[in-house]
Amino acid sequence: MSQPVFVLVRPQMGENIGGAARAMWNFGLDRMRIVDPRDGWPNPRAVALASGAGRLLDEAQLTETTDDAIGDCTYVFATTARARGLTKPVVTPERAMEIAREKIQGGEKVAVLFGPERAGLENDDIARANAIINVPVNPEFASLNLAQCVLLTAYEWRRQAGDVEAERTELAGADWASNVEIQKLSEHYESRLDEAGFFFPETKAEGMKIVLRNLWSRMPLTRSDVQMLHGILRQMVRWKERGE
Amino acid sequence: MSQPVFVLVRPQMGENIGGAARAMWNFGLDRMRIVDPRDGWPNPRAVALASGAGRLLDEAQLTETTDDAIGDCTYVFATTARARGLTKPVVTPERAMEIAREKIQGGEKVAVLFGPERAGLENDDIARANAIINVPVNPEFASLNLAQCVLLTAYEWRRQAGDVEAERTELAGADWASNVEIQKLSEHYESRLDEAGFFFPETKAEGMKIVLRNLWSRMPLTRSDVQMLHGILRQMVRWKERGE
């Protein structure tokens, strides 16, 4: 499966280039292009900050202009914090990565432009894009840095892969108790608590027993949970019998 | 509308506390609790790094233990990079924020625990949670820092608010051309290009005209785009007539 290319346009700090590489690789993206980085290339600060994602920098394509970086792409997104009064679709990262996935599956090549840290993309870069990505931040407070913007976009790409289980329970120890084990536990408690005079007054006893039985069956108990609950009850009985 | 509480458990660097506050406030979340921060409280580095989100730190509740921080919560998530062999549901950030929204709408109080930078949450903290949040990072490369983990979780909360339009086109300038304006543009080009001998050979002329008419109607043109396209053609004619 192919993936979008992420293009850093005139990035300033090497640290942020390294951080962007890490952010991408967290979500399995590894195609980076870099347009005219302020401090030249290669950049030792970028390498230091990329740590385990250094391969992305080694393989990054360096170009002088935005045009050179997107020359082979058929669909280009530009990320910006503000809308610029350009007549162009403005999409959420979610919708953008949906579009990217459709286009890539149709054989197209998709790029996402990220601007320099201080000022963001210039209108001249944005005019080259087919659509604008706008992260739906708090209108009173927008303070995403370059690596965070890359991170959210990469996260959306990965999230929509659809191969991640939304919910699972760890198997380790999840040896679930069977219904008969839950029944025996319920009976054990019911009979001992009966002896202990717990179900009082008698007019309410049956109702209390139903509530208790329901409690056991409602709980997601493993076999070792059940053993522990039996043990607790036995120990209370022993304690009482020692008469301390 | 209420929101989840984000709990930073034993955070180490003030910078990261400030970064977490910024990450939250980007997506409109402002209820932070802090358990036993390593460098005491208040922390000037945290304040410096929070910049516009300093109010979250001023209002953050400081507690000594995780239990104190979640005492009033009915549902607690723990974020961890690794599953720990505890029998507990493991959910994506997406599923977690779905659950959080349901519970909060039902009047419950939800907390999300974030661990210290180096080691993450301890099993003792995780055992207090109802479910584990696991960001679906690249199994070969997981390097999310504290603020990034907070950012992704806050982003999911916001994304699911459903009040953000997935796609819109900037209104500025989007004074769309009417069909009759497109028709006139099409006729203008067709007649001038006919004079210029563009539709050649004659056997193909009709097909070429249809392709051209289709081109105009396929484009999302504003009225000012249409004016510009008329102007281009007029200028070309003028240039020719000057005979240079």
Q: Closest Cα to residue B5, out of B108, B93, B80? A: B108
pLDDT of residue A64: 96
Q: What are phi and psi of B7, to 5 degrees?
A: -115, 115
Tell me if B33 sits within 8 A of B187, measured CB to CB: no
Looking at chain B, the whole-number percentage of residues with pLDDT higher than 90 is 54
Full DSSP string of B71-98: TT-SEEEEE-SS--S-SSEEE-HHHHHH
* ipTM reported for the complex, 2 dp: 0.78
Contact check, Cβ <8 Å, A94/B22: no
Q: Out of A94, A143, A220, whose CB is closest to B52? A: A143
C-alpha to C-alpha distance for B132 and B27, rounded to whole angstroms: 22
Helices A93-105 and A146-159 sit at what angle, rounded to 10 degrees? 60
Dist. CA A175–CA A153, nearest whole Å = 39
Q: What is the mean pLDDT of residues B219-225?
A: 81
* pLDDT recorded at residue A171: 46
The C-alpha atoms of residue B189 and residue A195 are separated, in whole angstroms, by 98
List CB contacts (< 8 A) between A164 and chain B. 92, 136
Distance from CA of B169 to the nearest CA of A (A): 4
For residue A52, list chain B residues with Cβ-Cβ distance below 8 A.
141, 143
B66 to B13, B110, B123: CA distances (angstroms): 18, 14, 12
Inter-chain residue contact A173 with B94, CB threshold 8 Å: no
| CB-based contact A143 B173, cutoff 8 Å | no
Q: How far is A46 from chain B (nearest CA, A)?
A: 16
Short-list A40, A22, A56, A2, CA closest to A150: A22
pLDDT of residue B21: 98
| Nearest-CA distance B38 → chain A (Å) | 25
| Cβ pair A49, A14 in contact under 8 A | yes
Residues from chain B that touch A127, judged by Cβ atoms under 8 A, are none
Cβ contact A172:B82 at 8 Å: no
Distance in angstroms (rounded) separating the CA atoms of residues A10 and A35: 5
Q: For B153-202, how does the pLDDT look when each residue is reduced to its tens digit (9 = 90+)?
A: 999 999 998 777 777 765 444 677 888 888 899 999 999 888 888 888 99
- The Cα–Cα gap between B14 and B22 comes to 13
Pairing mode, strands A167-169 and B167-169: unpaired
C-alpha separations of B114 from A143, B9, B139, B148, B164 in Å:
21, 6, 20, 11, 27
Residues from chain B that touch A143, judged by Cβ atoms under 8 A, are: 22, 25-26, 51-53
Q: Domain locations in chain A? A: 5-160, 179-243
pLDDT at B7 over 70: yes
* pTM, to two decimals: 0.80
Instruction: Give me the residue from B94, B164, B174 closest to A136, CB to CB.
Output: B164
The residue type of B79 is T
CB contacts, 8 Å: A84 with chain B? 170
Contacts of A167 in chain B (CB under 8 A): 89-92, 95
The pLDDT value recorded for residue A150 is 98
How far apart, in whole angstroms, are the C-alpha atoms of residue B73 and residue B111?
A: 6
- Residue A141: partners with Cβ closer than 8 Å, 6 or more residues away: B22, B25, B26, B52, B53
Largest CA distance in chain A: 87
Spell out which residues of chain A touch residue B167, defining contact as CB-CB under 8 Å: 89-92, 95
Looking at residue A86, its pLDDT comes to 67
Q: For residue A235, what pLDDT is reported?
A: 86
DSSP for A207-239, please give it.
HHHHHHHHHHHHS--BHHHHHHHHHHHHHHHHH
Are B26 and A142 an interchain contact pair (Cβ–Cβ within 8 Å)?
A: yes
Set of chain A residues whose Cβ sits within 8 Å of the Cβ of B220: 87
Q: How many contacts, defined by CB atoms under 8 Å, are there between A and B?
A: 137
User: Taking CB atoms and an 8 Å limit, are B166 and A92 in contact across chains?
Assistant: yes
Q: Write out chain A residues lying below 8 Å of B136, CB-based.
A: 27, 158-159, 164
From A28, A152, A169, residue closest to B155, measured CB to CB: A152
CB contact under 8 A, A143 and B51: yes
State the Cα–Cα distance between residues B186 and B156, nearest whole angstrom: 46
Taking the CA of residue B88 and the nearest CA in chain A, the distance in Å comes to 6
Q: Residue B77 has which token pair?
A: 């998530």
Over the stretch B68-111, which tens digit does the pLDDT of each residue have? Answer: 999 888 889 999 987 666 667 889 999 999 999 999 998 889 99
Contact between A152 and B150 (Cβ < 8 Å): no
For residue B151, the chain A residue with the least C-alpha distance is A148
Run of H or E residues at B49: helix B44-50
CATH class of the domain comprising A5-160: alpha beta
Look up residue B127 and give its DSSP letter. Answer: T
Series of mean pLDDT values for 10-residue runs along chain A (244 residues) = 92 97 97 97 95 95 94 91 73 95 92 93 86 91 94 96 74 69 91 88 89 80 86 86 76
Compute the nearest-CA separation of A133 from chain B (Å).
9
